[in-house]
């Protein structure tokens, strides 16, 4: 059902206050950047006109008190379908950015709004904005997409509700209207769909509650020119690299850690136990078909790009040896609505939904312990 906001003055009879188009959507980004609390008291702005790798710009990037990212996409002169597609496209980018990327975005934003003023860290900003609340251990464990508009057509509203209700996409629409009464202007807002409404209706645990870490790690294994899941199954490893952030993430895994591996965009594909800590790819030895120990890059791996930058300790792939308990091909990946998902390469989840996810995966993988 479309949202229609109306306003009346009641101090001297009943007088309708008329909406005005003005230059509303051009001004709205400035208003939100100056005071994001008009949209939500639980957000801070961490970036404006944030560039993406393909040359587009996120209108406003915010963070909530849980460390989750919020993309605000203003409709402006886009069609309804274009703004939904744009928001989803930005979500595909936001889901993969790491904590260091977020800190750089925030640093760049501070330079633009407060030139010459010493920058604060994003943790300091969260602490100042949300006094008395615990600073999140992880940044970007989830994200939300918010479309900001004066109106949307009925078909687009149905699409947004479908994405949220059927697929659990954290997408919402926030309507703003400007009304003018002689020399005064008034701004009103209303939610068509709160981005958390779909989740609140599920029977799975809330993602924002905190529980002690249970010792089982979440690992993202992103197939690319630098790694193949088939190689990982065959030779017993997980890996990441081509930057200090991913190198450091791999080094968090220690022998004895149980890991649950997710293929981004597909689902969970394996569970195993770490046998050896991360080493540069040249130092990772495996047995070849003849039974001789050889470096992984000489063992006939499918992904030849895995050897790129093998001699650079900052850019090479870092490999962790794993004894697999259960694996499936990416084509058979397991995913259900309500599963834990995270953009970080390695995570120590401290939310009830992680325990729920593990319980469900044990059933799907037929694991009893």
Q: Tens of pLDDT along 328-355?
A: 999 999 988 778 877 678 988 888 889 9
- The Cα–Cα gap between 152 and 81 comes to 9
Mean pLDDT of the residues in the chain: 84
Residues 6+ apart with CB under 8 A from 277: 251, 253, 254, 255, 320
Residue 110, φ and ψ in degrees, nearest 5: -65, -40
At 318, is the pLDDT very low, low, confident or very high (cuts 50, 70, 90)? very high
Higher pLDDT, 232 or 11: 232
Q: Is the pLDDT of residue 39 over 80?
A: yes
- Per-residue pLDDT averaged across 110-139, rounded? 79
- The Cα–Cα gap between 109 and 45 comes to 9
pLDDT of residue 163: 86
Higher pLDDT, 315 or 21: 315
Q: Please report, for residues 275, 283, 284, 285, 298, the alpha-carbon distance to residue 293 in angstroms, rounded to integers and kept in the order given.
A: 17, 11, 10, 6, 10
How far from each other are the two terminal CA atoms of the chain, in whole angstroms? 48
- The Cα–Cα gap between 343 and 220 comes to 8
Domains and CATH numbers, the chain: 7-200 (3.40.1350.10), 216-365 (3.10.590)
Higher pLDDT, 116 or 45: 45
- Per-residue pLDDT averaged across 98-127, rounded? 87
- The Cα–Cα gap between 173 and 312 comes to 46
At 282, is the pLDDT very low, low, confident or very high (cuts 50, 70, 90)? very high
Torsion region of 301: left, alpha or beta (phi above 0 gives left; psi -120 to 50 gives alpha)? beta
Separation of CA 108 from chain center: 20
pLDDT of residue 70: 94
Global pTM value: 0.56
Q: Tens of pLDDT along 60-70?
A: 999 988 788 99
Q: Are residues 258 and 272 in contact, defined by beta-carbon separation less than 8 angstroms?
A: yes
């Amino acid at each position: 059902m479309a949202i229609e906001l109306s306003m009346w003055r009641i101090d001297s009879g009943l007088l309708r206050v008329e909406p005005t188009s003005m230059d509303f959507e051009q001004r709205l980004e400035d208003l939100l950047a100056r005071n994001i609390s008009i949209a939500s008291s639980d957000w801070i702005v961490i970036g404006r006109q944030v560039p993406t790798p393909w040359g587009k710009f996120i209108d406003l990037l915010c963070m909530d008190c849980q460390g989750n990212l919020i993309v605000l996409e203003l409709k402006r002169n886009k069609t309804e379908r274009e703004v939904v597609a744009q928001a989803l496209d930005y979500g595909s980018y936001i889901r993969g950015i790491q904590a260091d990327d977020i800190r750089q975005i925030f640093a760049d934003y501070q330079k633009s709004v407060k030139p010459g003023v010493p920058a604060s860290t994003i943790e300091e900003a969260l602490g100042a904005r949300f006094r008395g609340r615990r600073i999140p251990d992880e940044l970007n464990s989830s994200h939300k997409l918010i479309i900001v508009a004066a109106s949307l057509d009925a078909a687009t509203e149905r699409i947004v509700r479908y994405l949220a209700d059927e697929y659990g996409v954290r997408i919402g629409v926030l309507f703003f209207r400007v009304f003018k009464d002689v020399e005064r202007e008034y701004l009103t807002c209303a939610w068509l769909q709160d981005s958390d409404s779909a989740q609140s209706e599920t029977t799975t645990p809330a993602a924002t509650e905190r529980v002690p870490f249970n010792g089982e790690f979440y690992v993202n294994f992103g197939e690319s020119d630098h790694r193949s899941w088939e190689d990982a199954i065959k030779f017993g490893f997980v890996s990441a690299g081509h930057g200090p952030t991913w190198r450091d993430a791999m080094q968090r895994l220690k022998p004895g850690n149980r890991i649950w591996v997710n293929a981004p965009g597909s689902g969970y594909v394996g569970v195993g136990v770490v046998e050896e800590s991360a080493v540069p790819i040249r130092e990772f030895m495996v047995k070849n078909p003849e039974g001789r120990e050889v470096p992984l890059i000489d063992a006939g791996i499918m992904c030849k790009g895995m050897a790129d930058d093998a001699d650079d300790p900052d850019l090479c792939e870092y490999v962790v040896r794993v004894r697999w308990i259960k694996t499936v091909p990416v084509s058979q990946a397991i995913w259900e609505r309500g599963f834990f998902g995270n953009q970080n390469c390695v995570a120590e989840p401290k939310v009830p939904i992680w325990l729920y996810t593990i319980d469900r995966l044990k059933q799907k993988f037929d694991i009893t312990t």
